[in-house]
Amino acid sequence: MTFPISYLFFFLTLLSGTTLSVSSTSWFGAWLGLELNLLSFIPLITTKLCPYLTEAAIKYFLIQALASTILIMSASIFLYAQSISHVMILLSLLLKLGAAPFHFWFPQVTEGLSWPQAFILLTIQKLAPMFLISYLTFSDTLMSIIMFSALLSSLVGALGGLNMMKLRKLMAFSSINHMAWMLVGIYLGDIYWLIYFTFYSFVSGSVIMLLYSTHSFTVSNLLNQSSKSLLLNMFIPMNILSLGGLPPFLGFAPKWIMIQFLSANSMFIPLLVLLTSSLITLYFYLRLFIPLSLLSFSFFISNVKLTSLFSSSYTLLSMSFINIFGILFPIPFMI
Amino acid sequence: MVNFSSAMIFVPMVMIFCGAWGFIAYSKHMLNSLLSLEFMMLGVFWLMSSQLALVASEVYFSLFFLTLAACEGALGLTMLILVVRSHGNDMFSSFNLLEC
């Protein structure tokens, strides 16, 4: 897919909206940045006149506009009813984020987008509401709402993805599950969710790049092109396992950090819920590539084409390399 | 002398609540949702300008708000045109391609 030059402009305003809302000192400025973000994301996702893109754009627009209106309304009643105002700002930010009680729009919108747009929705669009939620951690009510939303979104992300055969919906539910870890990271402190967000962006970016380069949108797409390249057959399981958070890969590192700090703060029940739901997500990640690697692994097929081993792009190769050997990366942080 | 300050809070809140109710409950056409959103924005404009006039006479902030609200309304109408061109109507019952 090639993008016209005007998308660069809209992408820059998207990033500047995020920056504006993160660095603003008032809720009005935060609302301004979120509106700028929304107004520039809609032209980015309506690239052509296709019913799927249109529907995703409409659902995204209506939800985000409602959340923005609730945010600016509750920021306006701040002088009158302070605690209600904070709670309603937090709820509208959770609606913008797609966290658990308000998650119903998120898989549908992700399903309608193409892979690069889905990557923007899964990572960059989460940045501003996450930062604004991390500013709202000064009272017990807000903290307990954040924790409730985190636990519920871990369960929803795990159980919702179980029956999914479409890869974009599956990535959306996996993103909801990872968002639970980030919300618990907000509960612990700012730096933890930032670390988790950085790692998650990288790992999900590498998975999305792999799926985009193979043009796969369902599990059967992934199976059909399996006998083409040996390298892809190795990379798809490894990247997906990294997203699932298995120990030799990069995706384990933020989970390791979170597990360590959660048990240091003796928050064992949230840790138990998060780990159990991550196990369920690991089940549906495994179901993605078990048929790929057992039934049609090209190493066992006689007509394997070794020439296509080097046909992948170098960016894909380097990202997968960091994904596989990336567990060595957080060692300076852990010491 | 009647004190209007609590009325200046509650009347816009009722307005916003009615807009949200219309947004949630009466969703047959998309135009209805967009009108409800604009109605909510109008209520927020009232609420916000009364609050800002109360604080430090910085009513001009509400002009920023009005600009962004108008941009959002224009984008909503653009989405309406887009959905009529791609789906043929603006009923919410026809937006069922992406459901789980």
Res A307: pLDDT: 46
Res A10: pLDDT: 92
Res A226: pLDDT: 54
pLDDT at residue A93 is higher than 60: yes
pLDDT at residue A287 is higher than 90: no
Put simply, the answer to whether A62 touches B37 (Cβ < 8 Å) is yes
pLDDT at residue A299 is higher than 60: no
Higher pLDDT, A310 or A42: A42
Between B9, B41, B48, which is nearest A80 by CB? Answer: B9
pLDDT at residue A310 is higher than 70: no
Between A61, A69, A169, which is nearest B41 by CB? Answer: A69
pTM for this predicted structure:
0.90
Interface of A with B (CB under 8 A): 28, 31-32, 35, 38-39, 42, 46, 49-52, 54-59, 61-62, 65-66, 68-70, 72-73, 76-77, 79-80, 107-109, 111-112, 169
ipTM above 0.90, yes or no: yes
pLDDT at residue A308 is higher than 60: no
Res A319: pLDDT: 73
Put simply, the answer to whether A55 touches B68 (Cβ < 8 Å) is no
The contacts of residue A102 (CB under 8 Å, 6+ apart) are: A91, A94, A95
Angle at A34 between CA A31 and CA A38, to 5 degrees: 135
Res A214: pLDDT: 81
Q: Where are the domains of chain A?
A: 6-334
Q: Which of B3, B9, B100 to mutate to test binding with chain A, by most A CBs within 10 Å of its CB?
A: B100
Q: Per residue in A115-171, pLDDT tens? A: 999 999 999 999 999 999 999 988 999 999 999 999 999 999 999 988 888 899 999
How far, CA to CA in Å, does A210 sit from each of A111, A119, A157, A234, A292?
Answer: 17, 12, 22, 11, 15
Between A55, A61, A70, which is nearest B98 by CB? Answer: A55
Q: Phi/psi at A216 (nearest 5 deg)?
A: -105, 130
| A245 torsion bin: left (phi>0), alpha (psi -120 to 50), beta (else) | left
> From CA A322, how far away is CA A235, in angstroms rounded?
12
Higher pLDDT, A181 or B97: A181
DSSP state of A312: S
Q: What is the mean pLDDT of residues A314-323?
A: 71
Q: Per residue in A223-260, pLDDT tens? A: 776 556 666 777 788 888 889 888 878 888 889 889 99
If pLDDT is split at 50, 70 and 90, which confidence band does B7 have?
confident
Interface of B with A (CB under 8 A): 9, 13, 16, 20, 23, 30, 33, 37, 40-41, 43-44, 47-48, 51, 54-55, 61, 64-65, 68, 71-72, 75-76, 79, 82-83, 85-87, 95, 97-100
Res B3: pLDDT: 63
Between A35, A49, A62, which is nearest B86 by CB? Answer: A49
Percent of chain A at pLDDT > 70 equals 87
pLDDT at residue B91 is higher than 70: yes
Chain B: closest CA distance from residue A167 (Å) = 12
If pLDDT is split at 50, 70 and 90, which confidence band does A320 have?
confident
pLDDT, averaged across chain A: 86
pLDDT at residue A309 is higher than 90: no
Q: Per residue in A212-225, pLDDT tens? A: 888 888 888 877 76
Which domains are delineated in chain B? Answer: 7-94 (1.10.287.3510)
Segment among A36-40, A62-66, A236-240, B78-82 with least mean pLDDT:
A236-240
Q: What is the DSSP string of chain B?
A: ----TTHHHHHHHHHHHHHHHHHHH--SBHHHHHHHHHHHHHHHHHHHHHHHHHHTS-TTHHHHHHHHHHHHHHHHHHHHHHHHHHHSS-BGGG--SS--
